[in-house]
Amino acid sequence: MGKGTSLICSDLSDVGRRRSNNQDSCTVLPPSSPQQYRARGWLFLVADGMGAHAAGELASGIAAERVPLAYEKAAQHSPPLALRRSIEQVNAEINAKGESAAELHGMGTTCTVLVLLPRGALVGHIGDSRAYRVRGRTIEQLSRDHSLVWELELAGGMSREQAAGAAPKNIITRSMGPHPKVDVDIEGPFPVHDGDTFVLCSDGLSGQMADEEIGLLAAEFEPREAAAALVGLALVRGAPDNVTVVVARAGAEEVSKVSATDAPWALTDEPTAATGRAAVPWKWLAIAAAGLFASLLLFPTSELMAGLRAAIGADIADAVSMLGCGAAVLVTIASGLMAMLGLLAPGGGSGRVLPPGRQVGKGPYRTSDCSPTEGLIEKIASSVESAAAGLGDADRERTTAIVARVRRHAAEQATHEAVVALGEALAIYTRAIERARHGDTIGGTAASES
């Protein structure tokens, strides 16, 4: 079994360029031991708060602090059930807090949680913050946006572009906090391969760049550099909202290991082997019925056997009848007994379980090619070049020279070198923004690495 010790990750949150405070929050909770990894895995969380004054910041902070704790305390449940219950519990806590004071009324937050376990990656999700998996040259969105734009698209009749043009991007249809109860999406477990990179982010990041750009930077850099480059690109493009990202890369110890002998995961609180009326054993009844039908066909006096006697002779036909009919009768008796045992066994209750190797949810929801093409690199380079026009002379000249180097590498098909150079340019721009904030700790950039 995996130990969960080869994963590397980094998280980064920035206030952006138009907000006075940061209403985003994020958490990385590593396992303290291989045993804890097998029991509850790694946990990553991004929350994007909503509400007047400091209400949104409070809501996202509660989610980031309380969901991991509630998940750990729910260790008696299966991971998907523990994840669901922890988010539901904290939703009720945020709602109660919002009802306690007029200035907090209606406060809420998105909440996207990734739990990485030996059986795979689980996602618990509310709102429009996102969870991605980058594998090779492909990026997949594992979570579904709870937004009006997505609802219009999923309802049918509209393309992604039409839906985006028909509704404001910032209207979300589900969040933690405004209501005492909330519907939580659980997705997965998704298989994990060596080198898979997972990205969690608020819409302050995903709203400023295409999926393939996120995938490109996440794949080409180590997690710390990838997080910095992603936030840097959001800043280059104006960062009208807070920007938060978590980048985690799985190693050999996190590769999924699923066995048919693994215990199924309970998905509900109801017992899965409670007393009550047993489920009808349709499979065994169907086999018994098929065996009975076959025995009737092969019975010595049947029309089929009469035809066989005429075709192949009485002796051979009688032997076929005896062996075939006998086997069919045995199948009928055995399957009938299994069906009877199933009917007499204690009922399965109303609980649902997830067998090993199966998934819940409908993800991934979108898949994009994030190959480092010259066109994709040029798209980012053009954004950097345009933003650099507002920098001081020294930074502008350095950035312009780096962009020229990016284009030269891309034209020569040295795509990795081109992306590395883009990272240099994005770092220059980020540092310029930080200097412009005059060291303001509220508006500054905070980062951590695990």
User: Domain map of the chain by residue range?
Assistant: 8-258+365-371, 282-345, 372-439
| pLDDT of res. 14 | 97
Q: What is the mean pLDDT of the chain?
A: 88
| pLDDT of res. 445 | 53
Q: How far apart are CA 389 and CA 94, in angstroms?
A: 44
39-96: pLDDT as tens digits:
999 999 999 999 877 899 999 999 999 999 999 999 899 999 999 999 999 999 999 9
Least confident range of 45-59, 173-187, 237-251, 385-399:
45-59
User: Which of the 8 DSSP states describes residue 105?
Assistant: T
Q: How far apart are CA 399 and CA 421, in angstroms?
A: 10
104-143: pLDDT as tens digits:
999 999 999 999 999 999 999 999 999 999 999 999 999 9
Q: Is 282 helix (H, G, I), strand (E, B) or coil?
A: helix
Place of tokens 């002779």: 313
What tokens does 307 get? Answer: 């035809």
| pLDDT of res. 327 | 80
Instruction: Using the predicted structure, report yes or no on whether residue 350 has a pLDDT greater than 50.
Output: no
Class of domain 8-258+365-371: alpha beta
| pLDDT of res. 450 | 54
Percent of the chain beyond pLDDT 90?
68
| pLDDT of res. 189 | 97
- Mean predicted confidence (pLDDT) in 371-388: 97
**Whole-Å CA distances, 40 to 2, 3, 359:** 12, 12, 17
Q: What is the pTM of this model?
A: 0.81
